[in-house]
Structure 1
Amino acid sequence: MFLSGNKKITVKLRDNTVDLKETKDLSARLMVLARSNRDINQKEAIGNYEFTLTPRALSASNGTILPCHDKSKLINLLEKLTREDVPHEDHQLPQTGSTTHQDVMDTGFIDTTSTDQPSRKIALVDGMVLVQRLSKKPVTVVTVKDLSGCFNERLMSLTRDYDEIILVFDTYRTDSLKSATRDKRRQGKAIQYQVRDDANIKHIPLSRFLSHDQTKADLTDYLAAKILEYNRGSSKLIITSASGNTRSNKDLLFEENNHEEADTLLIHQAVLASHRNPADAQLMFFSPDTDILVLVTANYDLLLKNTSISMASGVVQIEPLWRVLGKERAKALPAFHAFTGADNTGRFSRIGKATWLQIYLKADEDIINALQMLLDEAEVAEGMLSTLASFVCAAYSPKGINIKTIPELRWHLFCKHRAESDKLPPTLGALKQHILRVHVQTRVWAQAAIALQDPQLDPLHNGYFRDSDGMKPTTTEVLPAPKAIIEMVQCRCKYNCSSGRCSC
């Protein structure tokens, strides 16, 4: 990586300042200096300082959080748990066929061999997922109105066997953390388009049409209204929810909501549907998102017993998953998911979902309670930090080693296994910032079932800072090394430290 692409910080030392740049040999040079100074306690230094400008267990060299590439693996891991936990004869559940989520989204057909027909079937659909399935527009789609007609046909085909259809959309806010995540994923310049019946989109790829958040916001409102217009006389109950407003084609009234995520809004609408429908009705979520599986599982006690999700791997029944996890672990699952790797929170280096899940299933009551507190409590207490630190230690500890404090484990791994910085657990300073970011996300997920969520925790006081480029994660508030070591690496450059020969 080019030198200019790495993080740089300025450290104040007495009356001077020292500029440190993240380079591939910074950690090694700091370590040499630590060993050469007899006044420095190496064990304490290694245990409490990263010796890099960015905690490599949680961040890239430029200070961004590590993207979570394997969160979808959690779906297969949880499904595997239910297969291993073979139910008794009196707990047999309807078996699903091999129909995949893509097949369902394309054809609307779900193959199930269940002989017990529910009295009523309710479908909950993530609208933007269905929009994105239209990436290859039919040649007949010339205008935005044509797109809405095509969207309606897909929706009705997908849910043709259902009595009630609930369609929800994300709310697009320009100043949110979710917006920052979308900006990172976006490729190319965002272009805003008008959304009206006669707007011509024949030669505009859907990915470009949806590149701007305001276009998506306008489109969700437009589609929500069009679906009700197209199905005004339908015998089915059609409900749409976009931009905080929920409407239907029947005489149902809904209170406003302030959900930003379609994931949480789906849960809220599912809870309402569970209350107004008979106990033997069926809920089916249509979404391939891991977050949805996690949230539905955590809120299963508020939903109809016959609840399933159509995902990429097929139709997943929630009851077996709730049973194998147990109530406490199921309730804490959103916090576990955010802590171990989600879109807004990042992940730990070299520790995947499979490892984390194994540890989670064996975790003691204190760890489960600490994760639940991330969902319920307004602040992160020191006790939560130390308990979750022991959870991290369990993930990083070699087999047969039972060290429950991070400084001790960092020193052990450094001495016994010569572990590099990205193979060590994060220091407590770095872990605290990660937990604060997790807390922001989990507080949103914890309020999925209600209409009006409490205001989001202020990110600037919970693991983030703002600069000219927007909101960024605070990697740590602890110096990269003891001041005595940093004093020894200051350079003598008369101008800026742009040369590769600079010692800082």
Structure 2
Amino acid sequence: MLDTRNVIDHPVVNTVRTVEPVGKKQYETYKKSVLTDATHSIHDPIKKNKLPLFRSPTPKTKSKQVGQVSMLKDDVALFSRLYIVTQHRDGDLDTFFKHENHPYPPSLAERGKLRQGKKSDLTNILAQKTQEEPSGSFDVRVLDGAAVVHLLPVTGITTFDDYASGVFVPHIMRQLETSMRVDVVWDRYLDNSIKESTREKRGKGVRRKVAGQTKVPGNWPDFLRDPTNKVELFQFLSEKIVSTTFPDGKQVFATSGASVVCSGTDHSMPPCDHEEADTRIVVHLQDALESGCTTCLVRTVDTDVLVILIGKYHFLASKYPSADIWVAFGSGKNFLFLHINAICSTLGKEKSTALPVFHSFTGCDTTSSFFGKGKKSVWEAWGAYTEVTDAFNFIVEHPHAQITVDCQEFQMLERFTVVIYDKTSPLVSVNEARKELFCQKNRTMENIPPTQQALLQHTKRAVYQAGIWTTCHQAQQQTPTAEGCGWTLDAETKSWVPVWSSQPAAAKAKLKDMTCAHEYAVAVSNWFDVLGALENPVKLWDTFKRETLQAAKECIGERPRSRHGFVSTETLEKIEESRAARLPGNQDQHRALSRRIRTLLRRDKERYVRSLAEDVEGHLNANNLRPAYQALKKP
């Protein structure tokens, strides 16, 4: 719009362009159906077009409660599916727990999305490792630009020019009072990014064109939710930095897309292909250290930045031994200074270097956190199973390594996952731990580990993200595609979605074995040539039945029969009578007995199922899951 400079969404633009022909077409249709053909009454309501408009309401999303109710319904259905599975030829709980009971692993997914945890808990843990306070001045201050923009007030600001000259640039000036150099690092927003799901969760604000005389929107946080708004704002502010004259001897660097612009110096930095400021901060920090800076302060509100700096500290210290790195973290009453040197000294080199992989494996923006397992819990698990540090550091030393079920590193991560859920468990397999925790310790499906295959995909996502973090000192990372790294590109939405598992859900896995089905079909078809030579209908049927059952036994396997089946004595007697009537050819009596047998079988089965359901219900009401499963396993 020309007055507000708001940019209209593409669906609304399409509405404006097509509303007239759509209206004319509807008018002609109405005139023909009501006036000419009289196929509709004049009193019939006219359907709404539901065209996207300028003030279309925000699409409603399912609430968390609705998702939880859906999950509970799935858990109730699990008992019936488990019963069906255990009735199948070789159904057993060991096989069942190798598969997820949902399309999305409950321990890793929330309504089909990555399950998000609370990253700030890790900051609180790391903050306990240092109690120092920095001096007031630093050689260089590296600012997470997006964080600064969110924190700076916009009260009394009218236009974007006013914001730049009255808020942002003065803030840079204040930073230069106690430092020689300031670096402002912005995020980049690339198409088809794996970060898209995180951005969707933050919501989408009103799109407004950023220009000097454009009015600043009243709802500043809402404006900053739109990625395009931020791209234009960041570019606008970088241009303002270049055009500003700073005090003599002061240097200011700011990213501008993949490039870096500067003021007050002839020094240039190479282009950088990083997507996030989280990793690009390390490139600027490294450049400052290379230029002779020693005391460094990084301003951020993101735990990821803190983790990355700790992970890269020993690498930087080996090149610049005098480096003294601080982080100004958080805001308001939660603001604190963190001394990276002191934290890394307390943690030790191995644990410090491994921290980014630990963080990505236990939950960040692009990986799932384990349900009910916060950073404090998984940190304690790391202390209980320190051997996993070797696996973490292997991933650090081999960015984007190919992880398989059989490799030693995955086996260590699998054992670590078991420890996360049960620190006293001696098991090394998550599938075995799932069965034990569910059947013996009465854990819910959300509170048991993911299956081995689901954990493998989760590990691939963690390795992919860790690879980006551990190579952040390189200006050109040339990050490989996410395809095959626990992600896949959705053909319809053109966005990256998680691959949850390479195995189907439990019920489908057991009841739809295509290999067995194919073998069975081939075995049965081989008998059709033989059957064609038989003319006696009774002999034909007996042969077909016998050979079909034999093929089923050989290809599919015979289901174990209970010694105490649900078929009553009365029904068994009728079955014998029917067989006796069929052999001499008494078809009328045979058909009558067959109808009676079907009725009796339905009655017997109904009695059996009702009795079984009452038995299971009684155990569930008493919260005794193990006897309930034993009852379900009855054939």
Query: TM-score normalised to the size of structure 2?
Result: 0.64
Q: 2:125 aligns with which of 77, 80, 86?
A: 77
**Structure 2 CA distance, aligned partners of 1:190 and 1:483?**
42
Aligned length, in residue pairs: 433
1:263 matched residue in structure 2? 278
1:293 matched residue in structure 2? 306
- SS of 2:192's equivalent in the other structure is coil
Distance 1:353 1:243, change over 3 A: same
**Structure 2 CA distance, aligned partners of 1:242 and 1:77?**
35
Percent of aligned positions that are identical: 23
1:248 matched residue in structure 2? 262
State the Cα distance separating 1:487 from its structure 2 match: 5.7
CA contact (8 A) 2:274 2:476 kept: yes
Q: 2:340 aligns with which of 274, 298, 318?
A: 318
2:546 matched residue in structure 1? none
- One-letter identity of the residue aligned with 2:160: V
CA contact (8 A) 2:85 2:511 kept: no
1:21-64, Cα deviation, whole Å (9 max, x unpaired): 97342222222323445731222322x1122222111012x311
Does the alignment pair 1:413 with 2:434? Answer: no
- One-letter identity of the residue aligned with 2:197: A
State the Cα distance separating 1:381 from its structure 2 match: 3.5
**Structure 1 CA distance, aligned partners of 2:428 and 2:481?**
30
1:23 matched residue in structure 2? 74
**Structure 2 CA distance, aligned partners of 1:158 and 1:177?**
34
- SS of 2:141's equivalent in the other structure is strand
**Structure 1 CA distance, aligned partners of 2:247 and 2:339?**
33
Does the alignment pair 1:423 with 2:452? Answer: no
1:32-51 to 2 correspondences below 5 Å? 32-37=83-88, 39-46=90-97, 48-51=98-101
Does the alignment pair 1:380 with 2:403? Answer: yes
1:105-504 to 2 correspondences below 5 Å? 112=134, 121-134=139-152, 136-139=153-156, 141-149=157-165, 150-186=167-203, 189-201=204-216, 203-232=217-246, 234-249=248-263, 250-278=265-293, 281-301=294-314, 302-303=316-317, 304-312=322-330, 313-365=335-387, 367-375=388-396, 376-378=398-400, 379-382=402-405, 383=407, 384-397=409-422, 399-459=423-483, 461-469=485-493, 470-481=495-506, 483=508, 485-486=510-511
Distance 1:483 1:286, change over 3 A: closer
- One-letter identity of the residue aligned with 1:428: Q
Does the alignment pair 1:64 with 2:113? Answer: yes
**Structure 2 CA distance, aligned partners of 1:269 and 1:305?**
14
- One-letter identity of the residue aligned with 2:210: V
1:301-329, Cα deviation, whole Å (9 max, x unpaired): 20553111011341111112111211111
**Structure 2 CA distance, aligned partners of 1:178 and 1:130?**
20
State the Cα distance separating 1:391 from its structure 2 match: 0.9
- SS of 2:103's equivalent in the other structure is coil
**Structure 1 CA distance, aligned partners of 2:189 and 2:94?**
48
- SS of 2:90's equivalent in the other structure is coil
- One-letter identity of the residue aligned with 2:181: E
**Structure 2 CA distance, aligned partners of 1:333 and 1:267?**
16
2:571 matched residue in structure 1? none
CA contact (8 A) 1:283 1:306 kept: yes
State the Cα distance separating 1:385 from its structure 2 match: 2.1
- One-letter identity of the residue aligned with 1:205: N
**Structure 1 CA distance, aligned partners of 2:251 and 2:310?**
25
**Structure 2 CA distance, aligned partners of 1:307 and 1:461?**
33
**Structure 2 CA distance, aligned partners of 1:28 and 1:283?**
58
State the Cα distance separating 1:160 from its structure 2 match: 2.5
CA contact (8 A) 2:371 2:447 kept: yes
1:105 matched residue in structure 2? none
The structure with more helix, counted as a fraction of residues: 2
State the Cα distance separating 1:214 from its structure 2 match: 1.8
Distance 1:125 1:447, change over 3 A: same
Distance 1:485 1:26, change over 3 A: farther
- One-letter identity of the residue aligned with 2:249: S
- SS of 1:347's equivalent in the other structure is coil
- One-letter identity of the residue aligned with 1:291: D
1:52 matched residue in structure 2? 102
**Structure 1 CA distance, aligned partners of 2:160 and 2:403?**
47
State the Cα distance separating 1:424 from its structure 2 match: 0.8
2:20 matched residue in structure 1? none
**Structure 2 CA distance, aligned partners of 1:42 and 1:65?**
27
1:229-281, Cα deviation, whole Å (9 max, x unpaired): 22355431111113111122211021111111101110111011111115xx3
**Structure 1 CA distance, aligned partners of 2:435 and 2:223?**
52
State the Cα distance separating 1:401 from its structure 2 match: 2.5
**Structure 1 CA distance, aligned partners of 2:151 and 2:413?**
39
- SS of 2:143's equivalent in the other structure is strand
CA contact (8 A) 1:6 1:23 kept: no
Root-mean-square deviation (CA, aligned residues, Å) is 2.7
Distance 1:483 1:177, change over 3 A: closer
Which has the greater radius of gyration?
2
CA contact (8 A) 1:170 1:242 kept: no
- One-letter identity of the residue aligned with 1:401: S
- One-letter identity of the residue aligned with 2:369: R
- One-letter identity of the residue aligned with 1:66: R
- One-letter identity of the residue aligned with 1:385: F
- SS of 1:241's equivalent in the other structure is strand
1:90-132, Cα deviation, whole Å (9 max, x unpaired): xxxxx31xxxxxxxxxxxxxxx4x5xx87x6211101111111
CA contact (8 A) 2:399 2:471 kept: no
> 5+ residue gaps in structure 2?
1-61, 514-635
- SS of 2:350's equivalent in the other structure is helix
Q: Bigger relative contact order, structure 1 or 2, given CA contacts below 8 A and separation 6+?
A: 1
